Amino acid sequence: MGFILISLIILIGITSYFLGNLRAKNLRTSNQKNLKSLSHYYGYYVALWAVVPALLILLMITSFKSFFIEQYVLSDFIALGSYTETELSLLFTQIENTAMGIKLFDENTILIDGAVNKLNYINKTSENLTYVTVLGLSGLLVLYSIFNINHKLNSRKIVEKFLLVLYFTCSLVAIMTTVGIIFSLLYETLRFFSQVPITDFLFGLNWSPQRVFVREAGDLDTRDLANAFGAVPLFAGTFLIALIAMCVSVPVGLLTAIYMSEYASPKVRDWAKPIIEILAGIPTVVYGFFAALTVAPLVRDIGQGAGLTVSSESALAAGFVMGIMIIPFISSLSDDVIKSVPQSLREGSYAMGATKRETIVKVLLPAALPGIVGSFLLAVSRAIGETMIVVMAAGLNAKLTANPLDAATTITTQIVVILIGDQEFDSPKTQSAFALGLTLFVVTLALNFIALQVVKKYTERYD
């Protein structure tokens, strides 16, 4: 029904555009007086009146309809007063099923049959009513707006104003989503901290939320909770892996950028740059099994060859592959900023008798530094937020270690572990995921903020 109705509204909209346009043209020719706007703006004006309120009303009807229908259908049961809210909603589902011909239970048959009749009746009526209301409103407003067209009406202003509202609404969607996410994170996190003290979470050295799951809820005491949710091993693991990743990606990425911007001929650049950027487009899960199946065993074999104990899942393998993954973030961005250093600075340096290397090291890199640092920081936030590679290559074991050859785990990985499978949504275990998510969010936000500030503060203005 929704599809037909919306199609009809759009049809009315298109028709009314032509009507408005026609009306404006007629007014112009018959009165020999100029209208305030071009005639097609009057078309848009009428079309907006035809479509927008109708759609809004439709939206309202559809959001509230189900509630009223449920109330009406269940009125007999509600009158009995012996049902709880959950039971009522189950009952309603049963009625709906019966209406569709699926019979499950045989109790209360008379009441249910009555309700089914009611349901069929109300569905039919409400549908008709919706059609009449929406289309009627649309038609009335078309008539109103067409007769409203006169020499004093400036439809262009109204249309532009509407567009302004539209743009604003669209940007509001993104903003409200962000705000919504932050608040839901905050809410759940606060609930978590009401059970586990924030200091234990931030400074505790032991992360084993599974323990909470194993024990009966009644046996839990606060000591248990505190001991299970110390996030320091996760912070340390995240930091360790991100550090390894940066150790790989910073030198490789930066040198790539220098080669691409200063040494590569345009031909080489043309085919090499897209290939490097493909690295960023490879799904992280592919990197993940590359890390787990190729790099991790390799690291282990080499390590054992050198007489070291290496676990088969190591932070080094995950960090290394992650480093490869974020190379393009650094090389691409740095390449762009180095390239955008004005040619006049290069010439100035060459004219002083500097070699290419001196020019790059002493003039270009310092001039491009803010952008380069910005690219590093973006790469760090990418590394911190990365999940799949770590899940597959670094293990799930929350061990507090600084040894890159040991298994490690990160914040994101633990969120995955916590939320996989069945769980209650009000257990501290599940809520700890929100606390971790919020921590991660705060850290990446801070990094991005710093990156922006650095770029802004140290950017030289070239004109």
Partner 1 sequence: MKSIKIKADNLNVHYGEKQALFDVSMYMEEKQVTALIGPSGCGKSTFIRCLNRMNDVIDICKVQGKIEIDGNDIYAPDMQVEQLRERVGMVFQKPNPFPKSIFENVAYGPRIHGIAEHKSDLEEIVVTSLKKAALFDEVKDRLSDSGTSLSGGQQQRLCIARAISVNPDIILMDEPCSALDPIATARIEELMGDLKTEYTIIIVTHSMQQAARVSSRTGFFHLGKLVEVDKTETIFSNPSDQRTQDYITGRFG
Q: Which of 23, 118, 300, 346 binds partner 1 (CB under 8 A)?
A: 346
Asked if residue 270 binds partner 1 (CB under 8 A), the reply is no
Closer by beta carbon to partner 1, 297 or else 348: 348
| Other CB atoms within 10 Å distance of the CB of residue 252 | 16
Q: Determine the 3-state secondary structure of 87 from DSSP.
A: helix
Q: Which residues contact 92 (CB under 8 A, 6 or more apart)?
A: 70, 73, 74
DSSP assignment, residue 217? G
Closer by beta carbon to partner 1, 225 or else 360: 360
Closer by beta carbon to partner 1, 213 or else 350: 350
For residue 104, which amino acid is it? L
Closer by beta carbon to partner 1, 261 or else 432: 261
| Residue 356 tokens, joined | 């290419």
Residues 249-268 that bind partner 1 (CB under 8 A): none
CB 364 within 8 A of CB 319: no
Q: Which of 122, 350, 416, 444 binds partner 1 (CB under 8 A)?
A: 350
Asked if residue 113 binds partner 1 (CB under 8 A), the reply is no
Q: Which residues contact 85 (CB under 8 A, 6 or more apart)?
A: none
Q: What sign does the dihedral 117-123-129-135 (CA atoms) show?
A: negative
Asked if residue 109 binds partner 1 (CB under 8 A), the reply is no
| Residue 124 tokens, joined | 């039919």
The DSSP H or E segment spanning 390 is: helix 388-393
Write down the least CB distance from residue 350 to partner 1, Å: 6
Write down the least CB distance from residue 463 to partner 1, Å: 9
CA-to-CA distance for 29 and 35, rounded, in angstroms? 10
Q: Which of 105, 362, 446, 452 binds partner 1 (CB under 8 A)?
A: 362
Helices 39-73 + 2-31 axis angle, to 10: 150
Write down the least CB distance from residue 177 to partner 1, Å: 40
DSSP assignment, residue 404? T
| Cα dihedral value 52, 56, 58, 60, nearest 10 | 180
Residues 432-461 that bind partner 1 (CB under 8 A): 460-461
Question: Binding pattern to partner 1, positions 367-406, x when CB under 8 A?
Answer: x---------------------------------------
| Cα dihedral value 68, 71, 74, 78, nearest 10 | 180
| Residue 101 tokens, joined | 């011909």
Asked if residue 352 binds partner 1 (CB under 8 A), the reply is yes
DSSP assignment, residue 229? B
Write down the least CB distance from residue 366 to partner 1, Å: 7
Asked if residue 325 binds partner 1 (CB under 8 A), the reply is no
Q: Which stretch binds partner 1 (CB under 8 A): 139-147, 178-186, 196-204, 359-367?
A: 359-367
Q: Which of 30, 34, 84, 344 binds partner 1 (CB under 8 A)?
A: 344
Q: What is the largest CA-CA distance in the chain?
A: 100
Asked if residue 345 binds partner 1 (CB under 8 A), the reply is yes
Asked if residue 351 binds partner 1 (CB under 8 A), the reply is yes
Closer by beta carbon to partner 1, 354 or else 405: 354
Q: Which stretch binds partner 1 (CB under 8 A): 4-12, 57-65, 297-305, 349-357?
A: 349-357
Q: Determine the 3-state secondary structure of 207 from DSSP.
A: strand
Phi, psi dihedrals of residue 229, rounded to the nearest 5° = -120, 40
Closer by beta carbon to partner 1, 101 or else 353: 353
Write down the least CB distance from residue 360 to partner 1, Å: 12
Asked if residue 32 binds partner 1 (CB under 8 A), the reply is no
Q: What is the binding site for partner 1 (CB under 8 A)?
A: 342, 344-355, 358, 362-363, 366-367, 460-461
